[in-house]
Structure 1
Amino acid sequence: MSKFSIKYKIKLLILLVLISYICFHSDLIAQKTESKFRIARVKYSGGGDWYNDQTSEPNLLKFIAQNTNLPIDPVYEFVDLASDNLFAYPVIYLTGHGNVNFTNTESQKLRSYLQNGGFLYIDDDYGLNEYIRKEMKKVFPEQDFAEIPFSHGIYSCHFKFPKGLPKVHEHDDKAPQGFGLFYNGRLCVFYSYESNLGDGWVDPDIYKDTEQIRDAAFKMGTNVVVWALTN
């Protein structure tokens, strides 16, 4: 056998070992990345601005990472309710102003997602209320939103909110309320009305809320996520 053949085989062997090493560690990296918690914004039709305030989720996730032991990937992502990607997210977030419309397919997919352990957080950014109530009736026609009492664990599971939701933006100057939908006794949809937590999560120069208001919004948002992941 020539020296060239021996050298060639040695180089080929080294190359194969390197390829195997890279592939193996790439899989590990992918697994670690996929294991980090993310929230997906719900994309919906109807004309409402589902896409507004895109710094909300990354800022909230950074706060959660600093104040819990949850592995977090603080990115902005959105998901179509008709997509199978929906089931990759344990928590999804819906917000905006104005009209919301779910197709029959989206309603059925969302119901399946919620019945199989998923959690939907809805935040009325003003003008969402009448539309989201109508659309969620397509998802759970057998029930209406029930007001969540202050004694519920979502208000105390990590940070304490003995008086319920904090007031971030005035809207119609009504008291903030938290509503829920349940499946087999589990809170699977939490809806904040006249509170607007999401506006408290955005970059501080956007709405110029006080640090006290922003801190309360972040803490309540953390409670929503912690409750969703542990119940």
Structure 2
Amino acid sequence: MAAFLVLVALLLAGGRGTAGQTVAPPGSPAGESPGFHAAGLVIVHGDGTLTHAYVPFAEDEISGLDLLERSGAERVTTGFGGLGSAVCSLEGEGCDLGECRRTVCQGAAGDPFWKYFRIAGEGWEAWPLGASSARVRDGDVHLWAWTGGEVDLPVMTLDAVRELAGAPDEPGAGAPGQAVPAASLASGVVGRDDGADDVSPRRIALALGLLALVGGGGWLALRRTRAASRS
């Protein structure tokens, strides 16, 4: 029992969730000071699909749990009293509420669960103390992954996350009392190795055009050969 409580304490996302609550919160609250900051959030699903969220905020810093709450991503959490809340499911992937309450979605070694990461150097580093203890500041990018191991994904800049999330160009500092812009979120991007070539419609059209030219040239050469053999 004691070991389970230690495991729960390490995996909890923080002390703000409501037991068994499924939430998809609205945009960020209104700013109470001039300007605003922003951070990025990446969600990596088990099948490799990605969700990107660009989250403006008024405070100098927020917690990792705040970042998740304000991103607009659908989530299911369960509370463990004074130990806080655990993330059971994100965007429909995870474990059911009963299992989450028993095991925090962890089974045998290597089984996936919602694991929290931050950028450290040139890679992602797991943060075992829970998202509520992590500090998120302007320009940061944090990540949740449904995995039992590490994340094989290149680190991302906030500008890259903003673009993938479909957020408008950063509007800059707002006036005193101006509302902080709502978070932007885009789901369903298929992950791929960094540096992979884009297969754009333009490239496809060019390739088809080349094939047509090659095919036409071959047909013309064959026709000339047949004509020469008859003469």
TM-score, normalised on structure 2?
Answer: 0.25
User: Greater CA radius of gyration, 1 or 2?
Assistant: 2
TM-score, normalised on structure 1? 0.25
Larger proportion of helix? 1
Please state which structure has a larger fraction of its residues in strand.
2
